[in-house]
Chains A and B, each alone.
Chain A
Amino acid sequence: MIAAEFGSTPWGRAWVRSVAAIAASGPNALLPRARTLARNHAVELTTEPGRIEARVSAADAVQPVHIDVPLWSPQTQAQVRRLLEKSLAEHPVLIAGDLSDSFEADLRQEGIPVAAGLDELRAECACRSRKRPCVHILATLYALAQQIDERPALAVGLRGGATDPVAPPLPGWIALTALDPVAFYGD
């Protein structure tokens, strides 16, 4: 079986569905173009809770894209955490950064959406197209879905959920940025 290019896990698929929703009322020519951009490594992407930053290289120009993603409410986050702990107890052996597919099903059952709808996002792109969301924003979301397919914990982290039991910051290592240059030599 060949895995889906976008949304090979339920975690990434949730975001693919959000994007595809704009084609619900009729075909949208931007979607195939957005997928081509994501496929051709045109999107450079970083995420933090509640925010996606991207640079999309298309037609000789690089478009900066910012997308604000609504965070889960504190109550929802607490609920997610409980479900996560339950899931980790059931699946003790997971790759770092992975979350079980049944955890996604649990969230859906509780009515907690992993992906936000397009109408909930505040997305900005510097391009001149009047169409919103533009092809760059859509490409960013497709690239996001792929990154989530590689690392499902990203989907939860993006909504402000804690995934630290799964993905500790590299144990045994200290980032250079966390070191104090003044105290470095200790004297």
Chain B
Amino acid sequence: MPVAANPLQPATPRAGVASEPDAVPLPGRLQATFVPNENAMAWWGVQLLEQAVQEHGLPAGRPGTCRLAVADGSRVRAATVPVRLVDLDSAVHALRTPVPPDEESASLRTWREAVRMLDDDDAFAALGERMPAAAHGALNAEGTAIVTPTVLLTEFRQALRARAALRSTTIHATLRPYQQHGVAWLTARPRSGQGGVLADEMGLGKTLQAICLLASRRTVGPHLVVCPTSLIGNWRRELARFSPDTVVVSHHGAQRKLPSTVPPGAVVITSYPVLRRDTALTRTRWDVVILDEAQQIKNPDAQVSRAAAKLTATAAIAMTGTPVENRLDELWAILHVTNPGLLGSRNRFRQLFVTPIEQRRSATAAAALHTLIQPHLLRRTKADVAADLPPKLYSTVVCTLSDEQARLYRKAVDRAFSDGFGVGIARRGRVLALLTELKQICNHPAQYLREEKAELGRSGKFDRAAEMLAEIVDDGERALVFTQYRAMGELLADHLTETLGAGPTPFLHGGLSAGRREELVRDFQESADAPPVLLLSLRAAGFGLNLTRATHVMHYDRWWNPAVEEQATDRAHRIGQRRGVTVHTLVTGGTLEDHIAAMHENKRGFAKIALGRTDAALARLSDEELHAVIDLDSGALA
């Protein structure tokens, strides 16, 4: 079977980096170049860079290297140049300070002019004509061309406006440098009337970047977020957390009704199943439409994809963590919704790209496709932005309770409280039994009802976990999944074995012999064809296990003891490990999982709960207090 070439890889490998002469020919005067990919101004051009920057009264920024064009004798060539990168706001502030003319390089001079005429369109156009190439020398991916001054000046202004818009809205988060660039890229999309695909690897904060985009556009019209049902709660939560001023409307469930007018800037959250049959959504004129987990529309014949294509919006942004560029049909389907026409009709796309790339590994077709989609697709992997990331990246994923789960949950709570808990030892036993039941219901009704098989669609957490693990495996990464229940581990193992297509998913639990456990660990760590996901019972995953090949850790259910969970996480992460680890904690919104997670986070509430030993502490609460902790918060459900 032919292996598809990766159209996102430049046709000519970037061997340029290795084959370039060692010494970069520097001009000997300090230069300034705006580098859109870094969303920063680069100072460069002299050997003693930091000193020169200081002498010019400019901020020092952070050290780095950039791919820039340089003049080398009789030609202009690509080079990897040592630079100091300065965040746009401080660069603009410093460049506004007047200096005597003619003492600086032309590139620095034109950028000083640029920041003084940001609001003057004509002057800006004229500036482009006298801007030296060094001032706009950021290279394309292939290292064969630089961006025109007109395009770069436009991007520069857009980046500044995006930052101003963000400052004027309250975003309760500190964006990492690559996220700032992502937001600048995203905010440029509706301005140019085009959609796009944000395809950052899982864990890099796509949702936060999208929320910044939505929050920065308050006046044009309402926004729509479409996501899998299992993620609706997460979107609500993240919007409330990062952008509390944003009006949020959940459009989901049987009682849903879209208000006749949704105010500009408000965000309507809905699910793909609702999008499929709800005509009110396709009748509304949206400003920005976000299609989260866009692999949901990968089949262009499906009703949901057709409904997505029918949405009217200034710009549609698809979000996906899977490497879509390797699946050409999926790529077409998604871009057909976000950038209609870019890839032509489906048949023509197959003729011009899919057949040549998949059947004969055509490098020319792959390069042509790359050129075509590159401006509309932003993908960063963790390796790309490693310098910006902490060694452990924590992410809490709030999952939506299914109707079946909500019914079982309410019934269990009602029955326990009407039967009563008694006192002393008996009370403790009954409280613990109830907690176990509720945790099982959150995990999957099949675990609670002791069924053999866990289907999709019955548990928001289970669906979400399956989606995330599929994505991790697609990315060629490895994951550890911890649960405290043997039964849940078995259900997950069966499902993953069936769906991941990577052979039987092993489950390391206390029922296995020591030898078998060692074998599983060794396999996961060393074997070339070991399954990419290893399930572990939190209890059996004791000390001394070394599972550093995993780059993702998922806590499927909570032990409610941060120290124990951290210890489990450190199976994958060792101090000094080169690769970072992303830790995903799944929480079912509105349930006791959610309430207790909030107590842990805030270090508030019932002190002993917050300090661990949660189960025992809950048993000591009064009925009323206990009810407050475990009752279903219907506000957090919808």
A187 to B148, CA, bound (A): 19
Flag the segment in A48-56, A66-74, A92-100, A131-139 that touches B. A92-100
Flag the segment in A2-10, A103-111, A121-129 that touches B. A2-10
Are A184 and B133 in touch, CB under 8 angstroms? yes
The answer to whether B140 has its CB under 8 Å from any CB of chain A is: yes
Known: A94-B344, A95-B343. A179 touches B356 (CB 8 A): no
Q: Which of B27, B75, B351 contacts A185 (CB 8 A)?
A: B27
The answer to whether B614 has its CB under 8 Å from any CB of chain A is: no
- Which B residues have a C-beta under 8 Å from some C-beta of A? 27, 29, 31, 69-78, 105-107, 110, 130-135, 140, 144-148, 151, 340-344, 348-353, 355-356, 359-362, 364-365, 368, 371-372
Are B360 and A150 in touch, CB under 8 angstroms? no
Give the distance to chain B from A6, nearest Cβ to Cβ, in Å: 10
Task: Note all chain A residues with C-beta closer than 8 A to B151.
Answer: 172
The answer to whether A29 has its CB under 8 Å from any CB of chain B is: no
Task: Note all chain A residues with C-beta closer than 8 A to B340.
Answer: 93
Task: Note all chain B residues with C-beta closer than 8 A to A97.
Answer: 352, 368
Are A172 and B71 in touch, CB under 8 angstroms? no
Give the distance to chain A from B128, nearest Cβ to Cβ, in Å: 12
Task: Note all chain B residues with C-beta closer than 8 A to A182.
Answer: 71
Can you identify 23 A-B contacts, CB atoms within 8 angstroms? A3-B350, A5-B359, A5-B360, A8-B351, A94-B344, A146-B362, A150-B353, A150-B362, A151-B364, A151-B368, A173-B140, A174-B133, A175-B144, A176-B76, A176-B146, A177-B76, A182-B71, A183-B132, A184-B76, A184-B133, A185-B106, A185-B107, A186-B130
Q: Which of A150, A177, A181 contacts B72 (CB 8 A)?
A: A181
Give the distance to chain A from B593, nearest Cβ to Cβ, in Å: 49
Are B146 and A179 in touch, CB under 8 angstroms? yes
Task: Note all chain B residues with C-beta closer than 8 A to A150.
Answer: 352-353, 356, 362, 364-365, 368
Known: A3-B351, A146-B362, A150-B353. A181 touches B76 (CB 8 A): yes
Are A184 and B364 in touch, CB under 8 angstroms? no
- Which A residues have a C-beta under 8 Å from some C-beta of B? 3, 5, 8-9, 39, 41, 93-98, 146-147, 149-151, 170, 172-177, 179-187
Are A149 and B76 in touch, CB under 8 angstroms? no
Task: Note all chain B residues with C-beta closer than 8 A to A95.
Answer: 342-344, 348-349, 352, 372
Are A183 and B133 in touch, CB under 8 angstroms? yes
Are B344 and A98 in touch, CB under 8 angstroms? yes
Determine the residue in chain B with the shortest Cβ distance to A94: B344
Task: Note all chain A residues with C-beta closer than 8 A to B341.
Answer: 93
A9 to B348, CA, bound (A): 9
Pick from B27, B73, B356, B372 the residue with the most CB of A within 10 Å: B356
Determine the residue in chain A with the shortest Cβ distance to B350: A3
Known: A98-B344, A98-B348. A184 touches B147 (CB 8 A): no
Task: Note all chain A residues with C-beta closer than 8 A to B359.
Answer: 3, 5
A179 to B349, CA, bound (A): 34
Are B351 and A9 in touch, CB under 8 angstroms? yes
Top 8 A-B pairs ranked by shortest CB distance? A186-B132, A186-B106, A184-B71, A95-B344, A173-B145, A93-B341, A181-B71, A179-B76
Task: Note all chain A residues with C-beta closer than 8 A to B27.
Answer: 185
Are B364 and A147 in touch, CB under 8 angstroms? yes
Pick from A8, A146, A180, A187 the residue with the most CB of B within 10 Å: A187
Give the distance to chain B from A5, nearest Cβ to Cβ, in Å: 7
Determine the residue in chain A with the shortest Cβ distance to B143: A176
